[in-house]
Chains A and B, each alone.
Chain A
Amino acid sequence: MVLLGISVLVFVLLHAISSSPGRAVLGVQASAASVAAFNHAHGYDRPLPLQYLSYLGSLLHGDLGYSYKLNQPVTALLGENAGRSAFLSAVSLVLSVVIAVPLGILQAVKRNTVIDNSLTGLAFVLYSIPAFFLGLVLIEFFSLRLNLLPSEASQATTVLGVVADPVSMILPVVTLTAVSVAAFSRYMRSSALDNLAQDYIRVARAKGLTERQVLSRHLLRNSCLPIITLVGLSLPALLAGNLIVETVFNFPGLGLLFFNSLQKEDYPVLMAYSLIVGVLTVLGNLVADVALAFTDPRIRLH
């Protein structure tokens, strides 16, 4: 249902922006007649609902349209780039969770100490820096001044090729991770603080458990529950983050594709991208709910 809604919305929005794809494809110099002919040939002069239905029909067959600018089917374009984007997102997502969870707990346990305050300060700085700026600063330092790391991400065409060139991926991953670590660790800290104040933590201590046991057995899982939802919800945001990072580091992923298409007004690609973000949002929610049901016994799937 939600997905259907998304497809309608995306379709209508893009048609409001560009009702005559023929003009966009053939250029300003093309005659009105040839534009009309193009639109007619591709069915763009039919009533909107009909156009939508045929769009939906092909969508169901895995056909996302055809990019006249790049002269390729959109599905193929996306397929080419999706793997690389997914790799970048996945690596940074895993890294952010792995870093943010212990960091948040550490901050909660050492609440209001120098450690907590400085980490909080750092998190706020990272959180407020725009990703592109952070990327540029990193490039300036690590590639231009110190010449340690390449300023451009791997240009390999396959995911395996990217994996084979980890050094070039350090800067993009760091940029993307830094921002989400900052956000996740803030949530983790407050969630851990809430849980630390709970009676069952005191009970666990009263059992004579060591502090480490109290934290790992009773605090960790319960504090992670809100993070699970957050991670699920941040899936599309991560993709948007990709857009900036991929542009800054010239990494041929979905984000860069979108950016380029935006400049070229390549609507079928833009539509497909928007649709994917929508699908990811729904998917992220679903994944988060399912994961929560597994980790929190109070929530049961019926």
Chain B
Amino acid sequence: MSYPLEIENLRTQIRLRHSVVQAVSDLSLHIEAGETLGLVGESGCGKSMTGLSIMGLLPPGGSIVGGSVRVDGRELVGLPEPELQRVRGNEVAMVFQDSMTSLNPTRTIGYQVAEPVRRHLGAGKAEARERALEVLGLVGLPRPAERLDDYPHQLSGGLRQRVLIAMALACGPKVLIADEPTTAMDVTIQSQILHLLDDLKKRLGMAVLLITHDMGVVAGRADRVHVMYAGQLVERAGTTELFDAMAHPYTQGLLASIPQLDQPPASTLYSIPGIPPDLADPPRGCRFAARCPYADARCETEPTLAVTGPARAGAEHEVACWHPVEGPLPRLAAPTPAPSATPTPGPTATARPATEPAPGPATGPQEDERAELVAVTGLVREFPVRSGLFGRSGLSVKAVSDVSFTVRRGETFGLVGESGCGKSTIGRMVVALDRPDRGAVALRGEDLATLGGRPLRRRRRDLQLMFQDPYASLDPRVRVGATLREPLEIQGIGSRREQDRRIRELLAEVGLPGSAVDRYPHEFSGGQRQRIGLARALALSPALIVADEPVSALDVSIRSQVLNLMKRLQATHELSYVVISHDLAVVKYLADRIGVMYLGRLVEVGPAAEIYAAPAHHYTAGLIDSIPVPDPRAERSKPRDGVRGELPSPVHPPSGCRFRTRCPAAQAICAEELPPLRPFGPGHAAACHFPLREPEPDRPAAPVATLATPVTPVTPAGRTTEQTADPSTPDSRRTP
């Protein structure tokens, strides 16, 4: 019997000008009908190249130099291009990562979905359109008939990804290759799309190759998992088997370096030292040996995939390693197993004993008497929508509506929410790069909006930013030393020699060699650049760093290095962070307290552990449910609800509770009244009419120090449909 997809000893090379990259080396796999195979690994490990090899769509210079790829028993390697074209999009289809750029902006989605149908099934225009309508309905595009003639830019990211999937499904392929189909998506949409892929696979009996870097994604969706490293398969097993009894140190490291929701915040994340090898000149023997804590002389000969452990019936678990480990690293174990695994030697925060219970950040909210650093009160920011010849349309994007919170010294405040909820806008206002329309940001009791010119520039020493994109946030033509010197020069700090000393000090602090001073940003890897970004933010010894998606652009193993560094620096410098991220696990790991934002409003705020353990707002609960957990059992037993639908337009936000259009508990009152923030425990408040927990009845709305604004009193009529922040509200904390 032949499988829908079977790959044997595939070898793919990419010929560059001066070298030949061994992108895929001797890879074999097969997928059955109705099965999902997860292919996991870091970027550059060859997983995407595997997908492209199957499709015969390798980039210029790329070619399959050996092995075979069979679809339903038919050999694709060596097939002439016209024959291959008939297979592509017909029997094998691929969904690519970036839904923003994967659709042609000048063609309607109906045309683009109908295209493969016309090409492969010989359908006429009308017939193909009919089929496009059908598949667009299948992938859950709301009102597909009205949308056929829409252009891609008229759809949201989640809907575009559905269109891409529809395009791949149009001809009813036997094999679907999904290459990072949900990377860079909001968790809510990610969970919707993954659910859809799962559902379609079952209904259509396709074989699905799910390529991803996210262990959480494969845990819930894949039947079997293959782990790739440096172009080779290093381990393969059934999903549950793999997560229970992983045998390769790389798989182990990969899983351990993801911050998990039940990770005690005080623990240091495991990180795999070093970076993957250069595939133009792959190392002899085991390719992982250089980063492996168990490597010895034996690893100089190349290990082959071999059955491991107790050979259970049916569980085909193979690993390519001379020193297989047994199962995942103990979850709560804080110390890394091998000392060499710690990337930054030095004052690593001594981890707590593994037995320490998870909840509760280092300092509980009750005992927290740390001085308040930043107080955000009633923040409102709206951007006018320009349209037509004369600009003003009278409409505005309600980016931030009446948001209040405080950040104390040495504390990390996390802001989470889907993209477009106003998190980054708040970040910009906190560092005084943007001015609020109403409300105030106060630094140590001093309203930033009242400052200007020189005093404001001086204040900026205390407020620094760390950016998401380590490539775009460093000037490519400026040496690292000059980048770090700039803030010192602007603020006129120290003599040239003192500045030099400070720069070396900063580099050492973020774990970069002193020689970095004379190098340019492109000479560094993504993780190293993010370290440079952090060093720049630290240059002026700020009190607060706003980190906007600090690790979203980094690979998992690098990510944990940067997260550990951020934690360590916070401990040594008494820094406060505002961490903005759509990745809830990252925020949970870093933050002491968390604010959940939805469409410009803060819907829940409270201690991180408590919010995750017992959320009060339906949106928070949905967000948490949507996070893919790298634990197959937990992931599969999860209720598949998450958050339905898509973010409404911030130009016309829903009346009353803005979340009501997607809320499972919404009732008539939610459309009429804006729910006030009600206390749910010390420092914990949520704005919901029908919360998941009983609010605390008679306590005053949380201590003022924790919850910046007192709950806005409901007007006698009880009809505060739109709360407006009153800037003149007396603020007790601002008076000296």
Contact = CB atoms under 8 A, between A and B. Distances in A.
Interface string A197-224: 0111011111111100100011001100
Interface string A289-301: 0000001111000
A302 B82 contact: no
Contacts of B153: 297-298
B164 interface: yes
A289 B120 CA distance: 38
B94 interface: yes
B167 A207 contact: yes
B496 interface: no
Contact of B88 (A199, A205, A218, A295): A205
A302 B104 contact: no
A287 B153 CA distance: 24
Nearest to B388: A302
Nearest to A195: B104
B629 interface: no
Given A198-B101, A209-B85, A203 B164 contact: yes
Contacts of A218: 104, 107
B530 interface: no
B55 interface: yes
Nearest to B153: A298
B86 A208 contact: yes
Contacts of A296: 105-106
A200 B102 contact: yes
B57 interface: yes
Contacts of B90: 208
A208 B93 CA distance: 9
B89 A208 contact: yes
Contacts of A217: 107, 115
Contact of A200 (B86, B104, B116, B151): B104
Contacts of B409: none
A218 to B, nearest CB: 5
Interface in B324-374: none
B79 to A, nearest CB: 12
A205 B107 contact: no
- Residue picked from B94, B387, B389, most chain A C-beta under 10 Å: B94
Contacts of A297: 105-106, 108, 151, 153
A278 B588 CA distance: 62
Nearest to B99: A199
Contacts of B467: none
A200 B115 CA distance: 13
Contact of A206 (B57, B86, B98): B57
18 contacts: A198-B101, A199-B98, A202-B96, A203-B164, A205-B88, A206-B57, A206-B96, A207-B88, A208-B85, A208-B87, A208-B88, A208-B120, A209-B116, A209-B119, A296-B105, A297-B106, A298-B105, A302-B387
Given A199-B96, A207-B116, A217-B115, 11 more contacts: A200-B102, A200-B103, A203-B102, A206-B57, A208-B85, A208-B86, A208-B87, A208-B88, A222-B104, A297-B153, A302-B387
Task: Identify the 4 closest CB pairs spanning chains A and B, nearest first.
Answer: A208-B89, A208-B88, A207-B89, A302-B388
Interface of A: 198-200, 202-210, 213, 217-218, 221-222, 225, 295-298, 302
